[in-house]
Amino acid sequence: MLIVHALAEVYGCQAIIEDAAKLVEAAKTAAAAVGARTVGEFQVKYEPQGLTIAVFLAESHIIITTWPEYQLALIDVLMCNSEMDYNQVVRQIREQISPDGHLVMHTVPRNIAASP
Amino acid sequence: MLIVHALAEVYGCQAIIEDAAKLVEAAKTAAAAVGARTVGEFQVKYEPQGLTIAVFLAESHIIITTWPEYQLALIDVLMCNSEMDYNQVVRQIREQISPDGHLVMHTVPRNIAASP
pLDDT of res. A107? 98
pLDDT of res. A55? 98
Compare CB distances from A56 to B42, B58, B114 and report the shortest one's residue.
B42
Whether A20 is in a domain gets the answer: yes
To the nearest whole Å, the CA of B11 is away from the closest chain A CA by 6
Whether B78 is in a domain gets the answer: yes
pLDDT of res. A59? 96
Q: What's the mean pLDDT in A55-84?
A: 97
**Residue span of the structural domain in which B61 resides:** 2-111
Whether B21 is in a domain gets the answer: yes
Pairwise CB contact (< 8 Å): A113 & B72: yes
Count: domains in chain A: 1
**Residue B3 belongs to what H/E stretch?**
strand B2-10
Q: Rounded to a whole number, what is the distance in angstroms from the first to the last CA of chain A?
A: 11
Q: How many CB pairs under 8 A join A and B?
A: 97
Whether A116 is in a domain gets the answer: no
- Cβ proximity of A82 and A6 under 8 Å: no
- Length of chain B in residues, anyone? 116
Whether B116 is in a domain gets the answer: no
Chain B interface, Cβ < 8 Å to A: 5, 7, 9, 11-12, 39-40, 42, 44, 46, 52, 54, 56, 58, 60-61, 63, 65, 67, 70-72, 74, 76, 78, 80, 102, 104, 106, 108, 110-116
Quote the CA–CA distance of B7 and B90 in Å, as a whole number.
9
Sheet arrangement for strand B2-10: B38-45, B51-57, B60-67, B72-79, B2-10, B103-111
Share of chain A above pLDDT 90, in %: 100
Whether B68 is in a domain gets the answer: yes
3-state secondary structure A20-71: HHHHHHHHHHHHHHCCCCEEEEEEEECCCCCEEEEEEECCEEEEEEEEHHHC
CATH number for B100:
3.60.90.10
pLDDT along chain B (116 residues), means of 10: 97 98 98 98 97 98 98 98 96 98 98 97
Q: Which residues contact B47 (CB under 8 A, 6 or more apart)?
A: none
pLDDT of res. B5? 98
pLDDT of res. B103? 98
pTM: 0.97
pLDDT of res. B102? 98
Q: How far is CA A17 from the centre of its chain?
A: 12
Looking only at the bridges linking them, the beta strands covering A2-10 and A38-45 are: unpaired
Compare CB distances from A70 to B9, B52, B112 and report the shortest one's residue.
B112
To the nearest whole Å, the CA of A50 is away from the closest chain B CA by 10
> pLDDT digits over A73-96, tens only?
999 999 999 999 999 999 999 999
Whether A67 is in a domain gets the answer: yes
Quote the CA–CA distance of B56 and A42 in Å, as a whole number.
9
pLDDT of res. A108? 98
To the nearest whole Å, the CA of A113 is away from the closest chain B CA by 6
